[in-house]
Structure 1
Amino acid sequence: MRRTLLIVAAIAVGVLLTGVGLWVAPGHTADSTPAAAAAPSRRASVAMPTPAGPPVRTVPAPSTRSAAATPGPAVLPDRVVRHALGAVVGGRVGLAVYDLRTDTVLAHSGARQAFPTESVVKLLIALDALRHGDSAGVVAEMLSRSDDQTATQLWDRNGGPQIVTRMAQRIGLAHTSPPDIGYMWGDTRTTADDLITLYRYLLHSAPPAATDVVVTALADATRLGADGFYQYFGIPAAAEGRSWAVKQGWACCRPGRALHTTGIVDGRYLIVVLTTHPPQTTWATAEGQLTALVTRLLHHLPA
């Protein structure tokens, strides 16, 4: 809790200074992937080699420096963004980076293109569940372990696709839409732009108790998800000791692999990278590319 309060405090102070295993229906795999699809299950990634140890998740103390003394980074030049995007080969990327301290969009590419949310939609499920009075502990477990079974229970209990519709309206998500098949929550569609808006709502406008539950869970994301999938790709692997709080997403293969990393770095930067990759791309390759992309971005974002 102390760590979460520090994250939230750091974000709040910085802003003031400048003025998503699913219950599986017969015939379907986790994250609503049809079992009949001629592609390997995402669970195959469990045996994939992973780094020797988890990244360090330190949380900075609230900043007391003035805005004048800590100017934000400039909007990232096109060449920097192109270099970052070049890490993903043969895939599609939606990217947005936002500086909470200076209220500035630092990078933006394909950010209005719609992607399936996969487990990132658990952010909406969580906020909606907390509004309905569901257990904070259950919500936190769903987020930190990306637990699909819990997500499905909350999804079914609280209205399924209606969750997306009402939360999108409440938060102002202009390009987020519910799945065509009601129980397939991972098929919710969204954009990088809308996810930046969602994180800003979480940090600035959501009830403080909900913010505390969600941010704590994202900062406590486990090395392996509930289904055994390695979660420390993208932001966690790239952060190299910087603080982070993340919600990751993954699924295979409709028709390709979806792999998303989203969250907060240094209590200051909102980073959203949504990707799809050809089905022949291995998880190891896709994860490595996504981590390289974020690493290239963070190189230009001072802690």
Structure 2
Amino acid sequence: MTLRSPFAALAAPSNRTSPVRGLAGLAGRALLAAAAALLCLVQTATAASIAASEPAAPAVATAEVPAGVTAGVAVFDRQTGTFTEQLNASMQFRSASVVKLLLALDFLWNRGPDYTVPAADRARLEPMLRSSNDDAASYYWSNNGGAAIVNRMVSRLGLTDTAPPPAGSEGFWGYTALSARDTVKIYRYVLETAPAPVRDFVMGNLRQSTRCGSDGFDQHFGIAGSFEKPWAVKQGWSGFGARGDCGPVGAARTAASTFEAGSGAKAAAAVDLARPALHTTGTVGTGDRSIVAVLTLHPLSTSFGKAYTDLGRLTRSLTVPGGVAPAGKWYGTWSSAVNVRDDATTSSRSRTKLPAGVEVLIGCQKKGQLVSVPPYSNDWWAYLPQYGGYISNIYISSPDNRLPDVSDCAAS
């Protein structure tokens, strides 16, 4: 359900100096405070009721976990109120950037009658939610209490597997422990309990997820690559280096975050802080029908492109009600920093660069400029609908210049 703010029904306190009206103003302010406290209690109670009503696990799960990958999976169908997938759903993973959901919700908790977000905070929260900006996360972590944020949200939402970073790593917000089932609870709170302005702000920004994260990593893996829109995502990654190559040549990148710079810290903890982590979380389908949480760890030294591909294959194997698979054929690629271009020529603008060795969805192909990487040459180009551009077929892992199971692009 969606709770309406009780503040909307209250008149603003009077500014006049009449004793009677002054008393009324004091009463109004007291009533406002009482209403705020009541709203907090109702929100917390409703969130706790969601946490207590744990639907049963599905009889059969379809999750196909690639070799070497450790995964925690939960898919919740909001239409039927049941899980369609649960695998290691209570297992704790370091959250990486998924904790930014809790940072945003903590900030928005009890903001006032209309939950107005000041311009300065909007300028931080929007890129934090859309582009996973680390500087914004560090700002709220430092200014709003660090580990206390996590403890507050655990209590408010009735989370069972979420915990602050371990001793010795208190400053690393991305070391917050989180499970797939707790991630589902967080999204259920946003969608079913949070005041409408909070829900609209958070989900509205997650629906505007940018292709490239602020640190230059391509963040449209997992949910974003596996299903047609509508979807909304908050992704997480850790252990792949400080910066990626996503974006046009010369695109600005944020500085390495405090969290990522310390990703090799040797804190003692039950949660694995060493293996590279890649997580996809969010909603899929009309009306946010399914909540999807896939948290993964990969072998040491796994490249970002390999983890991106493995997470994509795992996500595509899941039963996700309301999810529609995109049309096209999946192919592997090779080389690093391969340009995705506006057209089938090396002189056309580069839209972004692919993660090294990543698997891509190909919609069609056409002849274009001859590209040579001795001893090979190829004049066929593949159109990548999820990127809106072309790559030379020479970089696709196939023995044929023209891909045998991909149609030609319609003449423009």
The verdict on a shared fold, with TM-score over 0.5 as the criterion, is: yes
Indicate the residue corresponding to 2:92 in structure 1.
114
Q: For 1:257, which of 240, 263, 276 is the aligned residue?
A: 276
Indicate the residue corresponding to 1:172 in structure 2.
158
Alignment of 1:89-238 (within 5 A): 89-131=67-109, 133=111, 135-180=121-166, 181-238=169-226
* Structure in which a larger fraction of residues adopt helix: 1
* Contact residue 209 and residue 232 of structure 2 kept, 8 A: yes
- 1:235–1:156 Cα change, 3 Å: same
Q: Which amino acid aligns with 1:111?
A: A
TM-score (norm 1): 0.70
Q: For 1:292, which of 313, 316, 327 is the aligned residue?
A: 313
Q: Secondary structure at the match of 2:181?
A: helix
**How many Å separate the matches in 2 of 1:118 and 1:302?**
25
Indicate the residue corresponding to 1:72 in structure 2.
none
Residue by residue over 1:50-84, the C-alpha shift from the partner in whole angstroms, topping out at 9 and shown as x without a partner, is: xxxxxxxxxxxxxxxxxxxxxxxxx8653x52xx3
Number of aligned positions between the proteins: 227
Which consecutive residues of structure 2, in runs of 5 or more, have no partner in the other structure? 3-56, 112-116, 240-263, 265-272, 325-412
**How many Å separate the matches in 2 of 1:179 and 1:302?**
34
| More deviation, 92-101/123-132 | 123-132
Q: For 1:85, which of 39, 64, 70 is the aligned residue?
A: 64
Q: Which amino acid aligns with 2:289?
A: R
User: In percent, how many aligned pairs have the same letter?
Assistant: 39
Indicate the residue corresponding to 1:275 in structure 2.
296
Q: Which amino acid aligns with 1:193?
A: R
* Contact residue 85 and residue 93 of structure 1 kept, 8 A: no
Indicate the residue corresponding to 1:245 in structure 2.
232
* Contact residue 231 and residue 284 of structure 2 kept, 8 A: yes
* Contact residue 93 and residue 275 of structure 1 kept, 8 A: yes
**How many Å separate the matches in 2 of 1:94 and 1:168?**
19
Q: CA deviation at 1:256?
A: 1.2
Q: Which amino acid aligns with 1:113?
A: M
Indicate the residue corresponding to 1:64 in structure 2.
none
Q: Which amino acid aligns with 1:149?
A: D
* Contact residue 229 and residue 284 of structure 2 kept, 8 A: yes
Q: CA deviation at 1:205?
A: 1.0
| More deviation, 250-259/189-198 | 250-259
**How many Å separate the matches in 2 of 1:132 and 1:125?**
14
Q: Which amino acid aligns with 2:314?
A: L
Q: CA deviation at 1:301?
A: 5.5
**How many Å separate the matches in 1 of 2:89 and 2:216?**
29
**How many Å separate the matches in 2 of 1:101 and 1:301?**
10
Which consecutive residues of structure 1, in runs of 5 or more, have no partner in the other structure? 1-10, 13-74
* Contact residue 103 and residue 149 of structure 2 kept, 8 A: yes
- 1:299–1:104 Cα change, 3 Å: closer
Q: CA deviation at 1:255?
A: 1.9
TM-score (norm 2): 0.52
Q: Secondary structure at the match of 2:318?
A: helix
Q: CA deviation at 1:100?
A: 0.6
Q: CA deviation at 1:132?
A: 6.5
- 1:92–1:102 Cα change, 3 Å: same
**How many Å separate the matches in 1 of 2:322 and 2:152?**
34
- 1:302–1:152 Cα change, 3 Å: closer
* Contact residue 122 and residue 143 of structure 1 kept, 8 A: yes
* Contact residue 104 and residue 125 of structure 2 kept, 8 A: yes
State the Cα RMSD in Å. 2.1
**How many Å separate the matches in 1 of 2:136 and 2:122?**
12
Residue by residue over 1:165-194, the C-alpha shift from the partner in whole angstroms, topping out at 9 and shown as x without a partner, is: 001110110110001222110000011111
Please say which structure displays the higher CA radius of gyration: 2
Q: CA deviation at 1:299?
A: 7.1
Q: Which amino acid aligns with 1:110?
A: N
**How many Å separate the matches in 1 of 2:207 and 2:109?**
21
